[in-house]
Chain A
């Protein structure tokens, strides 16, 4: 009983010991905040990875793919049963994306992905990441008559960060085609200067005012009312307007296309391929919806031959995972199959690279994956869950968290040495009291118990305060961030780096209990040595101590 009472009295009268647990408090608070933020970050990242990858990917080893996706989907349905919620076929091939910026050809290496407009959005979160509100509801590869978001739809912060998208779509396309026609006319009239030809016209000459004025005039006279919105003439549009229509006609169709009224096959590139963010936080676009791009990709068959075609950009894909946003270009699957020669000319049965599978909620992914692996030969098909696909990335995040936790826990361990030192001092200070207690019949283990209990109390107080502080910071982290930004004028958390507009946090009770247990454990461990010293004190010498 005396142990409890003495611990309590020491706790209330020894402020220096409380000072020593401040470092425990800070350590615990930091660990809680860091873990919550890291968990939030990891969760956000997993959501995004998962958003594009569907739950389970069923794919062929070869680029040519496997025939008859419908038969495969039925087989998968038979093995998976009611665990499968939806499926969509997909063709993915490496490709080269070419577009012109200020007369220069820009080439990007991309993954060219054919998707089924009707079913793809049901299997993954693909639709959520598009820039046109109607495309988010139901994807269409047709160019829209304007209405693209000028504000990032996934951001909470108001304010237009993408003014360039305001006139994108058909109005932009009409204006661009008109401008190019005027340029060509002008070049043809100046036949005495440079050799006639579109290529020479694109040499870095400034777009003159007169051409722009003419474009404006023609557009205002001819365009549909909603298309009369003048496209912004910021740095991005002149670059794009200088683009020449590489081809005005498709040879296989044998007729001349009216580019102002018609489009090529629609593609949805990742936003990272077409834009960059300048230092004011505004997205600058190299390509806009309505522009035409060239894509070169291998045909099916051996050896593959490179074929090229022209496509019209109809929307942008923005998952906020830069790996995807700067790598993917989406196209209707049937067009890609046709162009790659993946459709059997006799039967008309197409081939696909992969089938994306969405499972019903609560399904064990690994179980279904293993079931499918049993049903299909591994030499022909690669079956993996989205976690398998992004294993290294997810592991890297886990690793980062583990290392951070070790480092932060060392802070608490350092605090433990502070407690050790202060406890030794308290034992020296209390030597006489220890002698008194022993003369009253307290056992050595009882004396040790006082100091162990004291350590436990201090640990609990420190960890409890740390818990409160950590949770308070975690729950208000975005307010705190805003306050710090306001005070210092510095951006603490730049969304253009992290692609999150709020700092994401997840408070995991299990993690918190581990942190608390660790901190209390360290406080108790630190009090073991002083407690042993106190227990070993000789009562007579302790009583003589002044």
Chain B
């Protein structure tokens, strides 16, 4: 925590910062403390890899940053604004507009085809009436994103007709469609072979470098983590910076 305090040298607050984050789960009779006061910052256009052993709380940290879960104690800030204690509706909205998430097992909606899956965040955001008005724009955006990830021929395929790498690329396109401030990726290559994994990582690095997208990448694979600007290790519920 040397170079990334909330008020760093330039005076601009980091894009995402967590302070003294604690989270425990009740497991059977005992209580399992997963995070025991985690401090973590992500700058604008930063690319941070979070590594750690299985069960070290990497995913939990990501869920807390993605506002999918509420911490027992501590704070989450986005661009200097505390967000973890916002009302549920506001947090839902932030999740929709400011945060993009990618998961290890893709998490695509099986009823939707690739294009519709990419459009899903926009469908969630807009009412039927608004959707009708901007359907065309949204469609061309989604199409462009999928083409960029080499899925131009796969627009109308259902997830079960796609390979793992393709599904993950659809998931990334879905995370990017609403132009989020930060992309949270939870072991995006975990279920993929090396070639497919590279096919996921390369575009992520490119997005970070060219488009300035801030990325938090959770992984247990050191070789993947090395591609990030900075690596953070979670050990026993605390952060170790490498």
Residues of A within 8 A of B (CB): 1-2, 4-6, 9-10, 13, 432-433, 435-444, 446, 538-540, 543
A-B pairs, 7 with minimum CB distance: A441-B96, A2-B123, A9-B111, A1-B131, A1-B123, A441-B95, A443-B92
Contact assessment for A442 and B92 in the assembled complex, using a CB-CB cutoff below 8 Å: yes
A to B CB contacts below 8 Å, 27 in the list? A1-B130, A2-B120, A2-B123, A6-B109, A10-B111, A432-B107, A433-B109, A433-B110, A433-B111, A435-B107, A436-B107, A437-B109, A439-B66, A439-B103, A439-B107, A440-B174, A441-B93, A441-B95, A441-B96, A441-B97, A442-B92, A442-B96, A443-B92, A446-B124, A539-B69, A540-B63, A540-B68
Q: When A539-B69, A540-B68, A540-B69 are in contact, do A441 and B109 touch as well, CB less than 8 Å?
A: no
Does B39 touch A at the CB level, under 8 Å?
A: no
Which chain B positions have C-beta within 8 A of A440? 95-96, 120-121, 124, 174
Q: How far is the CA of A1 from the CA of B134 in the complex (A)?
A: 12
In B124-182, which residues have CB < 8 Å from any A CB? 124-128, 130-131, 174
Which chain A positions have C-beta within 8 A of B93? 441
Closest residue of chain B to A442, judged by CB?
A: B124
Q: When A1-B131, A433-B110, A543-B103 are in contact, do A444 and B123 touch as well, CB less than 8 Å?
A: no
Report the tally of A-B residue pairs with Cβ distances under 8 A: 72
Q: How far is the CA of A438 from the CA of B66 in the complex (A)?
A: 11
* Whole-angstrom distance between the Cβ of A439 and the nearest chain B Cβ: 5
Closest residue of chain B to A544, judged by CB?
A: B59
* Whole-angstrom distance between the Cβ of A3 and the nearest chain B Cβ: 9
Contact assessment for B68 and A438 in the assembled complex, using a CB-CB cutoff below 8 Å: yes
Which chain B positions have C-beta within 8 A of A437? 109, 120, 124
* Whole-angstrom distance between the Cβ of A15 and the nearest chain B Cβ: 14
Return the contact of A439 from the options B101, B125, B126, B128 (Cβ within 8 A): B101
Q: How far is the CA of A439 from the CA of B99 in the complex (A)?
A: 9
Q: How far is the CA of A342 from the CA of B108 in the complex (A)?
A: 96
Closest residue of chain A to B108, judged by CB?
A: A436
* Whole-angstrom distance between the Cβ of A534 and the nearest chain B Cβ: 14
Contact assessment for B111 and A6 in the assembled complex, using a CB-CB cutoff below 8 Å: yes
Residues of B within 8 A of A (CB): 63, 66, 68-69, 88-89, 92-97, 101, 103, 107-112, 116, 120-121, 123-128, 130-131, 174
Q: How far is the CA of A436 from the CA of B92 in the complex (A)?
A: 12
Contact assessment for A13 and B124 in the assembled complex, using a CB-CB cutoff below 8 Å: no
Q: When A443-B89, A444-B88, A539-B69 are in contact, do A1 and B127 touch as well, CB less than 8 Å?
A: yes
Contact assessment for A441 and B69 in the assembled complex, using a CB-CB cutoff below 8 Å: no
* Whole-angstrom distance between the Cβ of A144 and the nearest chain B Cβ: 76
Contact assessment for A9 and B112 in the assembled complex, using a CB-CB cutoff below 8 Å: yes
* Whole-angstrom distance between the Cβ of A103 and the nearest chain B Cβ: 86
Which chain A positions have C-beta within 8 A of B107? 432, 435-436, 439, 543
Q: A437-B109, A444-B88 are in contact. List 10 more A-B contacts (CB 8 A).
A: A4-B128, A10-B111, A436-B107, A437-B124, A438-B68, A441-B96, A441-B121, A446-B124, A540-B68, A543-B103
Return the contact of B88 from the options A432, A435, A443, A540 (Cβ within 8 A): A443
Which chain A positions have C-beta within 8 A of B88? 443-444
Contact assessment for B69 and A5 in the assembled complex, using a CB-CB cutoff below 8 Å: no
Closest residue of chain A to B184, judged by CB?
A: A439
Which chain A positions have C-beta within 8 A of B103? 439, 543
* Whole-angstrom distance between the Cβ of B190 and the nearest chain A Cβ: 14
Which chain A positions have C-beta within 8 A of B123? 1-2, 5
Residue picked from B92, B97, B116, B131, most chain A C-beta under 10 Å: B92
Contact assessment for B128 and A1 in the assembled complex, using a CB-CB cutoff below 8 Å: yes
* Whole-angstrom distance between the Cβ of A218 and the nearest chain B Cβ: 94
Which chain B positions have C-beta within 8 A of A539? 68-69
Contact assessment for B95 and A439 in the assembled complex, using a CB-CB cutoff below 8 Å: yes
Q: When A1-B127, A446-B124 are in contact, do A436 and B109 touch as well, CB less than 8 Å?
A: yes
Q: How far is the CA of A539 from the CA of B95 in the complex (A)?
A: 12
Q: How far is the CA of A5 from the CA of B109 in the complex (A)?
A: 12
Which chain B positions have C-beta within 8 A of A6? 109, 111
* Whole-angstrom distance between the Cβ of B224 and the nearest chain A Cβ: 21
Which chain A positions have C-beta within 8 A of B63? 540
Q: How far is the CA of A6 from the CA of B109 in the complex (A)?
A: 10
Which chain A positions have C-beta within 8 A of B95? 438-441
Which chain A positions have C-beta within 8 A of B66? 439
Contact assessment for B121 and A5 in the assembled complex, using a CB-CB cutoff below 8 Å: no
Which chain A positions have C-beta within 8 A of B89? 443
* Whole-angstrom distance between the Cβ of A322 and the nearest chain B Cβ: 60
* Whole-angstrom distance between the Cβ of B6 and the nearest chain A Cβ: 26
Contact assessment for B111 and A441 in the assembled complex, using a CB-CB cutoff below 8 Å: no
Contact assessment for A5 and B116 in the assembled complex, using a CB-CB cutoff below 8 Å: yes
Residue picked from A2, A435, A440, A538, most chain B C-beta under 10 Å: A440
Closest residue of chain A to B111, judged by CB?
A: A9
* Whole-angstrom distance between the Cβ of B104 and the nearest chain A Cβ: 10
Contact assessment for A2 and B124 in the assembled complex, using a CB-CB cutoff below 8 Å: yes
* Whole-angstrom distance between the Cβ of B66 and the nearest chain A Cβ: 7
Which chain B positions have C-beta within 8 A of A4? 128
